[in-house]
């Protein structure tokens, strides 16, 4: 039996695990965006603490992904939360996704031409209007690049979520490793790689659609 035939034979299971993998990735990235983008904007207004916060988030990124899954368990135990399943997996993926989004938001906002901001002020815009109409649109390509990076990383790390009972395509990969079955390993690895490429393409397309027309021409 070829690997393609093997994948087709287990199609229902692979689809189910792929959907679990996608849910883990999308939810964790969504939470990371909701936290990291406002935090990145806030840090551009508070330069005194920006280096400290960036240092803490960067330190999280240096922790090996498997070790991070283990480190979140004692934290969850302190709050009486589940230590097996989706909760620890989402927390670990959320923490790992923060740095690229936070850093790119901070850099993107800081790199906006000051002349554009002064022009907005000259037109009578408030600080909030300048943020929404000038700074965010101009920094959107950089922010989207950070989200794409975090998404691809999360798809890969989410395979480890199977070790703590969170499901996903990692189940096939680790089952294949235990039984020395390369077809099982590939049945998990190929959809995971395809999912990463698909999400990266979708976010790239979304970034181009959301980028202001003037910037598209400039790029």
Per-residue pLDDT tens digits for 82-124: 888 899 999 999 999 999 999 999 999 999 988 888 888 888 8
pTM: 0.90
Q: In this structure, what token pair is assigned to residue 115?
A: 């002349």
Distances, alpha carbon 190 to alpha carbons 15, 67, 150, 187, in Å: 12, 25, 20, 6
Distances (CA, A) of 215 to 56, 136, 218: 33, 13, 5
* Of residues 2, 14, 129, 105, the one with CA closest to residue 53: 105
CA nearest neighbour of 29 among 81, 84, 83, 102:
102
pLDDT > 60? residue 49 = yes
Give backbone dihedrals phi and psi of 85, rounded to 5 degrees, phi first. 105, -150
Q: Residue 31: is its pLDDT beyond 50?
A: yes
Cβ contacts of 92 within 8 Å, gap of 6 or more: 65, 68, 69, 72, 157, 161
Structural domains in the chain, CATH included, are 8-211 (1.10.3720.10)
Handedness of CA 114, 101, 73, 59 (dihedral sign): negative
Residues of the chain above pLDDT 70, percent:
96
> What's the whole-number mean pLDDT along residues 26-47?
95
């Amino acid at each position: 039996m070829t690997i393609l035939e093997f994948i087709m034979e287990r199609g229902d299971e692979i689809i189910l695990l792929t959907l679990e993998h996608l849910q883990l990735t999308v939810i964790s990235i969504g939470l990371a965006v909701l936290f990291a983008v406002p935090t990145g904007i806030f840090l551009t207004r508070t330069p005194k603490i920006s280096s400290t916060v960036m240092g803490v988030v960067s330190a999280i990124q240096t922790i090996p992904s498997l070790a991070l899954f283990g480190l979140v368990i004692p934290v969850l135990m302190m709050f009486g939360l589940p230590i097996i399943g989706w909760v620890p997996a989402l927390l670990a993926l959320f923490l790992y996704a923060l740095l690229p989004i936070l850093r790119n938001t901070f850099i993107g906002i800081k790199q906006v031409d000051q002349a554009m901001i002064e022009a907005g002020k000259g037109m009578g815009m408030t600080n909030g209007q300048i943020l929404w109409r000038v700074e965010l649109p101009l920094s959107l390509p950089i922010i989207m690049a950070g989200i794409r990076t975090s998404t691809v990383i999360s798809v890969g790390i989410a395979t480890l979520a199977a070790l703590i009972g969170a499901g996903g395509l990692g189940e096939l990969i680790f089952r294949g490793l235990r039984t020395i079955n390369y077809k099982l390993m590939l049945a998990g690895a190929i959809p995971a790689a395809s999912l990463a490429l698909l999400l990266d393409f979708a976010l790239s397309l979304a970034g181009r659609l959301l980028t202001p027309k003037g910037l598209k021409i400039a790029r």
